[in-house]
Amino acid sequence: MSLGGSDLNLLEALRVLLEEGNVTRAGRRLEMSQPAMSGALGKLRRHFDDELLVRNGRDFELTPLARELLPEVQEALRLIRAALQVDSVFVPETSERVYRLTMSDYALSVIHAPLLRQLRELAPLVRIEIDPLPADLRESERVLADYDVVVGPLGYGFPGVARAFFSDRMVCLVDRENPALIDGTLSMEALARLPHAVAAFGRGNLTPADRIVGERGIHRRISVVVSGWLPLPYVIVGTDMVAIVPERMARRHCVDGRLAMVDGPFGDVVLAEGYSYAEHRESDPGHRWLCERLDEVAAGLPPC
């Protein structure tokens, strides 16, 4: 069966539509307008006599035929490119692509400035959209379709192909006048006795702080739960509470002298941040370019 005079372009559109499961995201990735992308989907639906994408609530899902087609289309394009010795082209200087990323507020505070500097210099028309980590991150494969990159700690079962990003240490953050501080240190007994302020990222999503206390059998007396890491310094100051937080974040909030950052009595615990993405994105040169920028950002971070 022929797809018409522009078979290869339409085949590429089919691949991206099925990989993204969304007309808007597919258009962004191919740098096509939404009407053009919708037109391509219409041609493909007529050709296959199948809807291919059907609405399910606010999202779309692939039809059974579309799920069967996806690996065949991916392999067909791989073979065609290999035979012709060509690949898709991504030109960062002129691209108007929009990348979607999801990460914690802490990770955003670490990487946003150097990442934006790179984008302004190398791809001034490229835009990034950054959302908080979704509450159902570990349970839903949807996140890999919704986002180009997911940034989060390694070893927590996040979906997708995972790559190392940057590292940090977990430390304790307390008010400088907290009487539990003895010679600038905090004992394990004090850590168990003091009320804790903790970050939450959705039901069932453990944080590195949760893992530290769990592995050491520390029973925290939790007084305050906040969404994300960044509010913690503001709820700690002026109280007797303690929070276990990443060092890079703690250093930013200890400059005015009201808070003290101390090594935890639990020893040196490294937080390894990574980023992950759907495996099919590796065939996209624009995605590979983004990963190169993230790797350069990580390489340029000062040691903690």
Is residue 159 located within the same domain as residue 284?
A: yes
The answer to whether position 2 is within a domain reads no
Strand pairing category for 259-263 and 127-131: unpaired
**Into how many domains does the chain fold?**
3
Is residue 154 located within the same domain as residue 127?
A: yes
The answer to whether position 215 is within a domain reads yes
Residue that is written with structure tokens 């349970």 in the block: 139
Greatest mean pLDDT range, 4-13, 35-44, 51-60, 163-172: 163-172
Is residue 142 located within the same domain as residue 173?
A: no
The answer to whether position 13 is within a domain reads yes
Is residue 293 located within the same domain as residue 224?
A: no
Is residue 231 located within the same domain as residue 212?
A: yes
The answer to whether position 160 is within a domain reads yes
Over residues 164-174, the mean pLDDT reads 96
Task: Note whether 97 and 116 are within 8 A (CB).
Answer: no
Q: How confident is the model at residue 245 (pLDDT cuts 50, 70, 90)?
A: very high
Cα radius of gyration (the chain):
23
Is residue 262 located within the same domain as residue 276?
A: no
Pick from 73-77, 198-202, 216-220, 288-292: least confident: 73-77
Give tens-digit pLDDT for 62-108: 999 998 988 888 878 877 766 665 556 789 999 988 899 999 999 99
Is residue 253 located within the same domain as residue 229?
A: yes
The answer to whether position 173 is within a domain reads yes
**Can you name the residues that pair with 262 across neighbouring β-strands?**
172
Tokens of 10: 């339409």
Q: How confident is the model at residue 1 (pLDDT cuts 50, 70, 90)?
A: very low
Residue 179's domain comprises 168-269
Is residue 137 located within the same domain as residue 11?
A: no
Q: Which of 19, 201, 26 is nearest to 103 (CA)?
A: 201
The answer to whether position 89 is within a domain reads no
Is residue 135 located within the same domain as residue 173?
A: no
CATH of the domain at 135: 3.40.190.10
Domain end marker among 61, 84, 107: 84
The answer to whether position 93 is within a domain reads no
The amino acid at residue 108 is L
Q: How confident is the model at residue 4, as a pLDDT? A: 45
pLDDT exceeds 90 at position 256 = no
Is residue 156 located within the same domain as residue 295?
A: yes
The amino acid at residue 145 is A
The answer to whether position 284 is within a domain reads yes
Domain end marker among 34, 54, 84: 84
CATH of the domain at 11: 1.10.10.10
Domain end marker among 84, 118, 135: 84
Over residues 193-214, the mean pLDDT reads 89
CA–centroid distance for 65 within its chain: 30
Q: How confident is the model at residue 299, as a pLDDT? A: 96
